[in-house]
């Protein structure tokens, strides 16, 4: 059912906007929809579609396509203005149709491209002059064309005899019919919104059934009873689902419901006789590079008494990788703490 858009919440109706309903709350509506819990979406708009009209009289809600730049403003046609500026950036960038033939966007042709006149590359054949005055072609001695050796004395252009063979119109075109191209500027149902009946009237509103209340109270707990986590159905699984753990390659990833993410791994570094820098790529990106890096070298027997305790550092590079700097051979364990989702 359609209501004026000023009606915000008619009793017993739900807006047809494609949202999902709870079948337990609206069982009759659920059955009416064919045992589906998705409402029909009747909020679709026809703004932006184009059409040709057979007269200069433009129907209400439409404007001439070539008047877009003059008439479409944010306060006059807000929906069409938003639709076009999303594509062209500014309403003044919308091209005019003028007297052009329209083509479909395909191959290398994209929406909004404007093409000027052109003739496809072709070849022409010509014959020799007749001995009589009724010649088909003549040499224009006043118009020469240079050859590769820059000699033009005898290189003349050959033209058709205009009196006999020169004919045509002012433009190249197929057979055509001229109509008025317009664009939909206002939604057909801009003044109404569609609603669907969700439930009927409520009879005996305010009256209570004491017998039903008594039965319901029998299932309630005593006032002094305390509930624990064990009494809550699926409590443990619900809490556990808020945390996640993954092992991706040699990296362990832990996510927490507050948005914290911890990634840990082992890095094997080599010695080049000088400072070596390597990148560690995170299997899951952080939201930004504002994460904390920690790294420690694993104990190596060979380092004892040889002065080969490593110099090793770890620093954030981007939200997807960090840099580890080392000197000697060995292995290190690293840990990075950051966020997998933005703070609310």
CATH topology of domain 244-339: Immunoglobulin-like (2.60.40)
| Structure confidence at residue 200 (pLDDT) | 63
Beta-carbon contacts of 83 under 8 Å, excluding residues fewer than 6 positions away, are 47, 48
Provide the pLDDT for residue 106: 84
Q: Phi and psi dihedrals of 292, rounded to 5?
A: -105, 135
Q: Does 244-339 match 2-44+192-197 at the fold level?
A: no
pLDDT at 152: 46
Q: What's the confidence (pLDDT) of residue 288?
A: 93
Which CATH number applies to 2-44+192-197? 3.90.1340.10
Residue 77: per-residue pLDDT: 92
**CA 285 to CA 289: how far, in whole Å?**
9
pLDDT score recorded for residue 193:
78
Mean pLDDT by 10 residues, the chain (344 residues): 78 83 85 87 82 91 93 92 92 89 80 80 58 52 50 51 61 83 84 76 56 62 67 71 86 92 90 80 92 86 56 90 86 93 80
Tokens of 317: 């590079």
What is the model's pLDDT at position 143?
Answer: 54
> What is the enclosing helix (H) or strand (E) of 215?
helix 210-218
Express each pLDDT in 253-311 by its tens digit: 999 988 999 999 999 877 766 788 888 999 999 999 999 999 998 776 655 555 556 67
pTM of this structure: 0.41
* Residue tagged 């080392």 (tokens): 326
pLDDT score of 146: 47
Ordered by start, the domain boundaries in the chain are 2-44+192-197, 50-102+179-184, 244-339
10 Å CB burial of residue 247 (0-12, 13-18, 19+) is: exposed
Tell me, what's the pLDDT at 217?
64
Query: Could you count the other beta carbons within 10 Å of the beta carbon of residue 302?
Result: 10
Confidence at residue 11, expressed as pLDDT on a 0 to 100 scale: 81
């Amino acid at each position: 059912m359609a209501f004026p858009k000023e009606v915000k919440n008619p009793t017993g109706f739900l807006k047809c906007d494609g949202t999902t309903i709870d079948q337990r709350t609206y069982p009759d509506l659920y059955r009416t929809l064919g045992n589906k819990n998705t409402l029909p979406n009747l909020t679709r708009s026809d703004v932006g579609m184009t059409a040709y009209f057979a007269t200069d009289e433009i129907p209400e809600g439409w404007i001439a396509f070539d008047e877009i730049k003059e008439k479409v403003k944010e306060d006059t046609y807000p929906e069409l203005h938003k639709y076009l500026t999303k594509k062209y950036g500014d309403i003044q960038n919308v091209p005019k149709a003028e007297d052009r033939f329209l083509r479909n966007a395909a191959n290398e042709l994209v929406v909004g491209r404007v093409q000027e006149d052109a003739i496809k590359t072709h070849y022409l054949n010509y014959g020799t002059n007749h001995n009589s005055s009724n010649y088909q072609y003549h040499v224009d001695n006043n118009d020469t064309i240079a050859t590769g050796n820059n000699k033009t004395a005898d290189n003349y252009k050959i033209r058709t005899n205009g009196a006999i063979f020169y004919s045509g119109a002012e433009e190249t075109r197929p057979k055509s019919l001229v109509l008025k191209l317009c664009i939909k500027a206002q939604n057909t149902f801009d003044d109404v919104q569609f609603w669907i009946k969700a439930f009927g009237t409520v009879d005996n509103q305010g009256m209570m059934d004491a017998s039903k209340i008594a039965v319901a109270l029998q299932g309630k707990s005593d006032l002094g009873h305390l509930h624990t986590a064990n009494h809550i159905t699926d409590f443990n699984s619900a809490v556990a689902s808020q945390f996640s753990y993954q092992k991706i390659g040699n990296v362990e990833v832990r996510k927490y419901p507050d948005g914290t993410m911890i990634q840990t791994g082992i890095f094997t570094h080599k010695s080049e006789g000088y400072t070596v820098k390597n990148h560690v790529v995170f299997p899951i990106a952080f939201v930004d590079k504002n994460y904390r890096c920690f790294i420690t070298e694993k104990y190596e027997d060979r380092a004892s008494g040889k002065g080969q305790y490593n110099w090793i550092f770890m620093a954030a590079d981007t939200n997807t990788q960090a840099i580890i700097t080392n000197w000697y051979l060995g292995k290190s364990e690293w840990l990075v703490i950051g966020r997998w989702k933005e703070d609310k």
